[in-house]
Chains A and B, each alone.
Chain A
Amino acid sequence: MGEVKLFFGPNHPGMHGNFSVHMYVEGDTVVRARPLPGFLHRGFEKLMERRLWYQNLALIPRICVPEPDINEVCYAMAIEKIAKIEVPERAQWIRMIVLELARIASHLMSFPGIGGSLGLYTGPFWGTADRDRVLDIFESLTGARVYHMYIVPGGVRKDLTPSIQKSIKETLDYIESRLPDYENLIFKNRIVHTRLKKIALLDRETALELGITGVGLRATGVPYDIRKVDPYLFYDKVEFEVPTATDGDAFSRVYLKFLEISQSIKIIRQALEKMPEGKVNVRISDGNALRYRVPKGQAYVHVESTRGEYGYYMVSDGGEKPYRVAVRGASYPQTFIGIEKYLPGTRIEDVPIWLSTMDVCAPEVDR
């Protein structure tokens, strides 16, 4: 049988986001695959160079759609690092709570979302409904559901009031009570086992060589998490575990995401307890905040996102605008090298499994 070229693009329901892959297939097997990004290239890095430091706050959350808060915290931490600003302790704890809530929200969309690629549609429905409860917290805290623009250089915009703390605790209790249901629905399901076990395998050496981070790497047995290795905020002051697996297959990657939710719940509970009273932001300059200048310098700041290492390399020349901002999308390696190297040899129906368990995220790759 001859080779056929298939275009697997954003208009396909099995595609993971606004991304496309050119596949050359023989029968049902992929012979060659070529990633073709660019549908979501919006030129953020250039746009940021042409806007004031403060104006960029409204722009950066848009870089990564499912988990926007990591952009805000990277941007704020990079400015604080260059300008050597001390952030109030309470603000750092609140940032951590927001980041972990965002992690829960993102995981609740992505791990039941595997059901979408497999035809098990109850998972995504449940996940989306439960994620909505986290978004309710964001709405009461920041005023926005998806793009919060809440973490600003110097702290956070508003204080975390006792009533919001109460609703966070209630939501965490609810999500925790739902976890056994998810386990029964997804991880004890025969379809999921048959379709995900020993599929899209990745071994440890290759993962490290290719620079794959996040659950893709941890599923190969190494506990490499930036929150532990290079702690930022107060991650060194809370107790949590980094779940790992040794199989390196699609199932363990999805299962790790599920396990991370309970760790995030643990972190938020500790943070709520340890959070001191006090100010939540400091003025980063005198006078008009829009005309703020960041002193000369550069910094690379990275955080652990749900998909792996997410970082900003930022350069300031002392002016009113950033001189250069480079964004490291967390799924950059698995998107490009992963598709080229790992899709050949798999069957067509396993392609969306690689894309969704490796979290190919078009907005942060294209930027």
Chain B
Amino acid sequence: MMSSMSEIVKNLKTLVKKLEIVEIDEREVKIEIPCEKTLNVLSFLKGNGYSHLSILTAVDWIEENKFEIVYVLFSWENGGKFVVSTKIDRKKAKFVSVMHLWPIARFYERELHEFFGIQFEGNDDMRPLFLENWDSLPPLRKDFDPLEYSKEKFPDREYIKDVIYEAKVIRGDLNG
């Protein structure tokens, strides 16, 4: 971990008591925090140079019955990355929006709502973004099976075997 990053981690430890730190790389640190502290931690990091939201995404941990929401914050000054992750209940998939911190989060959250079914409080724009007339489970959930879905949605048609016979009927060869 870079020295400037370890300093921030030290400050974060005073802010949040339950903090789990996984060091992935010299310039990449993952911090796992309880969900009620997320906004505090994110705005703290944003104020300390990690102001670029690289990606906002989610991971479906179906066996634990949790959704993990992941924010990757990047600093243009020293090239460090903080991967902030928090876990929410899969049944009550609801979380706070961060669109007041990063405007682009509005679209990431809209995407997560569409693909995982996670609601974001404070973000009213939850219209579908990529999919059209979607009528099944949110597709990136682990319990959604695309193969089954497509078999149901687009059932197999019967295969016409005797193509030559068909052609002969059309040409009228059978009679002549």
Q: Which residues of A contact B (CB under 8 A)?
A: 37-38, 41, 43, 45-46, 50, 81, 208-211, 213, 222, 224, 226, 229-231, 297-300, 302, 309, 311, 313, 315, 323-324, 326, 328, 332-333, 336-337, 366
12 contacts between A and B (CB under 8 A): A43-B139, A81-B24, A211-B104, A224-B76, A229-B78, A230-B79, A298-B24, A299-B24, A300-B54, A300-B55, A302-B54, A309-B54
Nearest chain-B residue to A81 (Cβ)? B25
Nearest chain-A residue to B132 (Cβ)? A38
Do B129 and A298 have beta carbons less than 8 Å apart?
no
A326 to chain B: which residues have CB within 8 Å?
55, 57, 70
Among A37, A299, A324, point to the contact of B25 (Cβ < 8 A). Answer: A299
Kindly provide the distance from the CB of B90 to the nearest chain A CB, expressed in whole angstroms.
Answer: 14
Kindly provide the distance from the CB of A326 to the nearest chain B CB, expressed in whole angstroms.
Answer: 4
A229 to chain B: which residues have CB within 8 Å?
76-79
A309 to chain B: which residues have CB within 8 Å?
54, 74
Nearest chain-A residue to B145 (Cβ)? A50
Complex-state Cα separation, A4 to B80, whole angstroms:
47
Q: Which of B45-62 contact A (CB under 8 A)?
A: 51-55, 57, 59-60
Nearest chain-A residue to B70 (Cβ)? A313
Do B57 and A313 have beta carbons less than 8 Å apart?
yes
Among B30, B83, B130, point to the contact of A37 (Cβ < 8 A). Answer: B130
Given A210-B103, A336-B104, CB of A297 within 8 Å of CB of B51: no
A213 to chain B: which residues have CB within 8 Å?
52
Q: Which of B133-176 contact A (CB under 8 A)?
A: 139-140, 144, 146
Do A211 and B139 have beta carbons less than 8 Å apart?
no
Given A230-B79, A323-B59, A332-B104, CB of A37 within 8 Å of CB of B129: yes
Q: How many residues of B contact A (CB 8 A)?
A: 37
B80 to chain A: which residues have CB within 8 Å?
230
Residue of B27, B57, B115 most packed against chain A (CB within 10 A):
B57
Chain B interface helix/strand/loop/mixed: mixed
A224 to chain B: which residues have CB within 8 Å?
76
Do A333 and B129 have beta carbons less than 8 Å apart?
no
Given A37-B130, A81-B25, CB of A337 within 8 Å of CB of B107: yes
Q: Which residues of B contact A (CB under 8 A)?
A: 24-25, 27-28, 30, 51-55, 57, 59-60, 70, 72, 74, 76-81, 83, 102-104, 106-107, 115, 129-132, 139-140, 144, 146
Chain A interface helix/strand/loop/mixed: mixed
Nearest chain-B residue to A45 (Cβ)? B140
Given A230-B79, A299-B24, A337-B103, CB of A41 within 8 Å of CB of B130: yes
Q: A50-B146, A231-B79, A298-B24 are in contact. List 5 more A-B contacts (CB 8 A).
A: A38-B130, A209-B102, A210-B104, A299-B24, A300-B54
Complex-state Cα separation, A344 to B55, whole angstroms:
26
Complex-state Cα separation, A128 to B132, whole angstroms:
35
Kindly provide the distance from the CB of B15 to the nearest chain A CB, expressed in whole angstroms.
Answer: 23
Complex-state Cα separation, A317 to B80, whole angstroms:
25
B54 to chain A: which residues have CB within 8 Å?
211, 300, 302, 309, 311, 328
Do B81 and A230 have beta carbons less than 8 Å apart?
yes
Do A46 and B104 have beta carbons less than 8 Å apart?
no
Do B83 and A300 have beta carbons less than 8 Å apart?
yes
Complex-state Cα separation, A211 to B107, whole angstroms:
12
Nearest chain-A residue to B107 (Cβ)? A336
Kindly provide the distance from the CB of A48 to the nearest chain B CB, expressed in whole angstroms.
Answer: 11
Given A323-B59, A332-B104, A336-B107, CB of A300 within 8 Å of CB of B72: yes
Do A230 and B83 have beta carbons less than 8 Å apart?
no
Complex-state Cα separation, A271 to B9, whole angstroms:
37
Complex-state Cα separation, A231 to B57, whole angstroms:
24
Do B81 and A46 have beta carbons less than 8 Å apart?
no
Complex-state Cα separation, A302 to B27, whole angstroms:
12
| 7 closest residue pairs by CB, A with B | A230-B79, A326-B57, A328-B55, A38-B130, A229-B79, A41-B130, A336-B107
